[in-house]
Chain A
Amino acid sequence: MRHGRYPFIIGFLAAPVAIYVTFVLGPYAQAFYLATTNWRGVSANPEFVGLENFTKLFSDDVFWKAIRHHGLLLLALPLLTIVLALFFAFMLNVGGGSRGGAMAGVRGSRFYRVVFFFPQVLAVVIVGVIFSRVYAPDDSGLLNGALATVGLDPVLFMADPDIALWSIIAVLVWQAVGFYVVLFSAGMSSVPKEIYEAATIDGAGRAAMFFRVTLPLLWDTLQVAWVYLGIAAFDAFAIVQVLSVDQGGPDGATTVLGMEIYRNAFSYSQFGYASAMGVALFFLTITFAALTLRVSKRDTIEL
């Protein structure tokens, strides 16, 4: 059993670890260093500039715009997605009432579960391109075409700075809901049916059942969902690049940090500055995850 153990271990770990360190860990570590340089990729050596990139960042209007957009995304995306997904999951799992003692979903719940999940398997970019046509500013778009048939003026979904970001949020919610329906369904189906039976005997209605039984028992899953969606809110790059006017426009109305990092790195070759944004994004994400897990901490209900 001992024979050849270490050669085997090394043989199996060498390639994965080498690839992982080269392309993942190495770059992450370097990002922190690059953030303190003014490197633009042309000079042989990056020059150390301390925290200059960060002072520049904090006085950059576009950076604060992006932060505000992340703030809005952080509130709206999880809230809308979770509320919709919870409601649908409840309908699909418990909404049909009790059948032979077990709680069942409404009729057709299998169909809905499959359909709601569709957008989840499509690339965010493809979804973005589809919606760029759905949101088309004239009657050729699906939405404005629909508005025209009831005699309403076309809405400039992506060109109006007041609603452009909301239009993007709507697409993100559209895509995300299906996944969370499945996630919450998994959580709901693990609730022992005796609990629902007991609640039914006590005369609990649908609403009481939802708020007093389902919601508390799903707390852990909700917490996971909130963290996932929060991280997604820091990540909305592909959709902004494809769907927004002028990549983050109009006039920066939809820009996000990912977009600015990409733009600074690959359009302006400001590698140091882009890395500083990456570091800022990293601390925002970590802070958000730690805060969420801390604030939402509750005693888990053991089943």
Chain B
Amino acid sequence: MTTEIASSAPAAPAGAAGPGRRPASAARRQRSEVGVLTTLGHLALLVWAILVIAPLLWTILASFKSNTEIFLGNPFALPGTFNFDSYARAWSEANVGRYFLNSVFVVTLSTTGTMLLGAMAAYVLARYPFPGNRVIYYLFVSGLAFPVFLALVPLFLVVNNLGLLNTYTGLILVYIAYSLPFTVFFLAAFFKTLPQSVAEAAMMDGASHSRLFFQVMMPMARPALVSIAIFNIIGQWNQYLLPVALMQGEGADRKWVLTQGIASISTSAGYQADWAALFAALTLSILPMILVYALFQRQIQSGLTAGAVK
């Protein structure tokens, strides 16, 4: 399931090929070709790396500038003094602190819920044959194929009818629901690979079905659970369409999540013109993600690609 398939590739037969065996002309031709192409390639890689880093770095640097520096100064200049005023303004006056904590709260609960419910469903669907098993499995997986926009209007009405519009409960339930297809799809495939003998041994020792799940199967599935949890955290933290559609109405702005809040600051910044605070708000939303990414880089990359490379 990981992307490191290279290590499982069969080892090359010893001495089958070495640089010395190559015909001399081909080697020479290749060497000159390598020179030009590698230089161009290196250049392209470097340019793209700069293109990726520059806007992010510029955003972070601008958050320390004053409004005058941002508007009248050279956009490439370093800030005159590194002051954190803009962060204080963004955090309290522009409510970024509130939005940030709202996001943390919602994503913590919804990811936990997604993992628990997703793992339960996936486990039963993967390891317990019963009539209707396949039907339920395909119902879950079919959710991967539908565009969320199709459901948008009825979803709004359903949530509204349940009285859950503009509530954390509603948003969390919806996050869980829309994360289930991928979670179930991925975890079901993983639970299938766990050995039956362990399950039988536990049963012989008198474990109940749910005890078997929580004390034997869940710990064994840890690597897969971690990958999918990270995937869900990133996805739900970055979600925009669902909160924008569901967190509206009286006093909704107090419950906004970070993406929503920052989009709103960005549109109103044109009038208030506190650009430094906007840049600070952006930095506050970029840095945690870059940090999480730096820490879990391998799991994130393999987790995000695992669904595609099977």
Contact = CB atoms under 8 A, between A and B. Distances in A.
A13 B136 contact: yes
Say whether chain A's binding surface is mostly helix, strand, loop, or mixed: helix
Contacts of B176: 19
Contact of A91 (B45, B143, B238): B45
Nearest to A264: B153
Q: Contact size class for A?
A: 35 or more
A256 B70 CA distance: 32
Interface string A242-275: 1000000000000001100110011000010011
Contacts of B12: 101-102, 193-194, 197
A116 B52 contact: yes
B180 A20 contact: yes
Nearest to B230: A121
Interface in A110-144: 111-126, 128-134, 139-142
Interface in B31-47: 33-34, 37-38, 41-42, 44-45
B21 A275 contact: no
Contacts of A141: 75
Contact of B48 (A84, A257, A262): A84
Interface of B is mostly: helix
Interface in B239-263: 239-241, 244-245, 248, 259-260, 262-263
Contact of A121 (B3, B5, B146, B292): B292
Contacts of A152: none
B250 to A, nearest CB: 15
A266 B240 contact: no
B271 interface: no
Given A13-B121, A20-B177, A126-B262, A262 B152 contact: yes
23 contacts: A8-B124, A12-B121, A23-B174, A27-B158, A28-B151, A101-B17, A101-B18, A102-B12, A118-B53, A118-B290, A118-B293, A123-B240, A126-B282, A139-B75, A140-B75, A145-B74, A145-B75, A149-B74, A186-B5, A192-B10, A201-B17, A266-B156, A278-B150
